[in-house]
A and B are shown apart, each in its own frame.
Chain A
Amino acid sequence: MTDLAAPTPRPRRGARRLLALLAIAGPGLIAANAGNDAGGILTYASAGAQFGYRTLFLMLLVTIALVVVQEMCARLGAYTGKGLGALIREQFPVRASTTAMVLLFVANAGLTVSEFGGIGAAMELLGVSRFIAIPVALVLLWAMTVLGTYSKGERIAIALSLTFIAYPVAAILAHPNTHRVMRDLFTPQFPHSTAFLVIAVALIGTTITPYMQFYVSSAVVDKKIGPQGYPAERVDTVNGAILSNVVSIFIIIATAAAIGGSGPLSTAREAAEALRPAVGSAAPTLFGIGLLGASLLAAAVVPLSSSYAIAEAVGAERSVSNSVREAPLFFGLFTLQLVGGAAIALAPGNLISLVVNMQVINGAISPALLVFVLILANRRSVLGAAANGPVYRAVATVCVAAVGILALAVVLLKILGIG
């Protein structure tokens, strides 16, 4: 018989802290890492190929904005026990909340297609046909989310995000000019051309996306993280945002070191092939593994975020820990987006224009949804003492205004056919 009263060795303070952080690691890390999706990787690689290291300082600023936005969303979830979808429904007019949900669903449905496109492209780099890879990925993602539990799914998602280590490895193997990297990382670079402005806006748009905000707030609620557990969750969210952007910065460095100044890229394959001179035959494999992990993670997170948001808005049960019978709307929406995304990604034809258009829709709704987040996080009636203080409010307003203006600028540039 086991002696339940036997004393267990007590971990040292540092080890205890690490264990506590690992236990809470989840929503923030997963949401931020999902931001390095197929579209993101292409944008970062393109920035490195076109402008070398010159976009690195901007990425430093984007990291601050991402930390601020993601932290507000996680805080809203932890202190109210409600995700962004629920809070928007309760705190704003029904027309505004319905419009937000419809736009989020449309934008996320389009992004899901591009994530499956990323899975197909990654597996083709690794020598597997997309006609095999995409259906297999569809079944795996569906089973993991619908038949698994949240903790299992979370562990798999965190494991997938470890594949991002491929990018720092690729960057180191590409032998970047360390002095120039450090100089451009900490020295402001001003836009000197329309093309630079376009890539700057694209970098912001692909890094701070609505699905990440909705996902992190809902997942915090789903994990039942309350105000008491929030300090650890804040560490997870801040770390996740910083880590994901460190990966983004390494993608830029890797591509800049290999083919900096050669011009924009249009496909993930080009981005992978561009690294061949630096890292030889390992380039496609490294890039493919990273792209696969990112796309798989985002292919689950993107549809989950809209399923959470819509189920919250209509007040239906929503949790990855529920059964399909308990949460039919939640899993129905998830399945619809997953199957639809995979089917369209398998269809013949050029998906690039569709993906570009979806990025435009995301760019258009991002500022509006960020305004919702900012208002909610500022309201004492919603967050009480945890509402934004004057300093945080000022910083968050500047971040949201900057992201909003630049995101609207990219939409205008796309509409005008520039960039």
Chain B
Amino acid sequence: MTAFALRPALRDVRRLPLSRRRASTIRTRARLISVAGAVGSHVFDGSGRHVATLDDLVVDWAPSDTHPALVGAVVRTRRKRSYVPLTDIADLEPDRLLLKGPLRGLPPERQPWHVSLAHDVLDRQIVDENGSDVARVSDLVLARFPDGIRLIGGDVSARTLLRRLGTASMRREVSPSRVYDWGSVGAFPERGAGDASSVLRLTSAPEPAA
């Protein structure tokens, strides 16, 4: 088990002096996974054959859940995009998605309670409670817990944005010190998945991570 210190509530950063900023601590069993780095990586089926490219990662956006759980992935073959439910996923690593069996080619239907991280959250605007623009999401970070893979944080730094301009291995690097705990980033009451006007609104009641 590894412990990562994440940055505290994004909305407090401008107001709190450095000495009062307490880091959140995330304990996880595996390496942190960058969503920006994972998208575009290879998908292998149960026999180890490269069958598709990872297009997006889908989480369950239950309002009560401060760290949304991974429920599936969208993959892209030469012909079409298809949905892979969590039950078909053997493992997600920073540079690959491993399936338990063959790629079933399910149609990528959007469920109202599901959010596609790359499509709906990455690069989106974060606004504070007053509606003022704070930053854009440069990257999202996932980690493995005993009950599954969860979204643990967001990175809004310009350095991470520049990192995404680099090679595939550079895109996969995660700097925990620049990642804000998603539990304290808060929420998404106005998410509007697939809608160009969707924004991430910081809530007024941040929940520190466990």
Given contacts A82-B197, A326-B132, A383-B196, contact A90 B161 (CB under 8 A): no
Given contacts A86-B125, A90-B123, A94-B123, contact A316 B196 (CB under 8 A): no
Which listed segment binds A: B100-108, B133-141, B143-151, B177-185?
Answer: B133-141
**Which of A82, A98, A313 meets B165, CB within 8 Å?**
A98
The reply to whether A314 and B161 contact each other, CB–CB distance below 8 Å, is yes
Given contacts A90-B123, A94-B123, A94-B165, contact A80 B196 (CB under 8 A): yes
Closest to A327 in B: B133
The reply to whether the CB of B46 lies closer than 8 angstroms to some CB of chain A is no
Closest to A98 in B: B165
**Which of A95, A316, A381, A383 meets B133, CB within 8 Å?**
A316
The reply to whether the CB of B126 lies closer than 8 angstroms to some CB of chain A is yes
Contacting residues of chain A (283-326) with chain B, CB-CB under 8 angstroms: 313-318, 326
The reply to whether the CB of A64 lies closer than 8 angstroms to some CB of chain B is no
Q: How many residues of A are counted as interface, with CB atoms below 8 angstroms from the partner's CB atoms?
A: 21
Chief secondary structure at chain A's binding surface: helix
The reply to whether B133 and A90 contact each other, CB–CB distance below 8 Å, is no
A98 to B133, CA, bound (A): 19
The reply to whether the CB of A225 lies closer than 8 angstroms to some CB of chain B is no
Closest to B158 in A: A314
Contacts of B81 in A (CB 8 A): none
Contacts of B126 in A (CB 8 A): 315
Interface size class on chain B is: 10 to 19
A287 to B72, CA, bound (A): 65
The reply to whether the CB of A271 lies closer than 8 angstroms to some CB of chain B is no
- Most chain B CB within 10 A, of A81, A87, A315, is at A315
The reply to whether the CB of B124 lies closer than 8 angstroms to some CB of chain A is yes
The reply to whether the CB of A89 lies closer than 8 angstroms to some CB of chain B is yes
The reply to whether the CB of A91 lies closer than 8 angstroms to some CB of chain B is yes
Given contacts A90-B124, A94-B164, A94-B165, contact A315 B194 (CB under 8 A): no
The reply to whether B165 and A314 contact each other, CB–CB distance below 8 Å, is no
Chain B residues within CB distance 8 Å of chain A: 36, 123-126, 132-136, 156, 158, 161, 164-165, 194-197
Known pairs A313-B136, A381-B196. 6 more at Cβ < 8 A? A94-B164, A94-B165, A314-B161, A316-B135, A317-B132, A318-B133
Chain A residues within CB distance 8 Å of chain B: 80-82, 86-87, 89-91, 94-95, 98, 313-318, 326, 381-383
CB<8 Å pairs between A and B, sample of 24: A80-B197, A81-B197, A82-B197, A86-B125, A87-B196, A89-B136, A90-B123, A90-B124, A91-B196, A94-B161, A94-B164, A94-B165, A95-B165, A98-B161, A98-B165, A314-B158, A315-B126, A315-B133, A315-B134, A315-B156, A316-B133, A381-B195, A381-B196, A383-B196
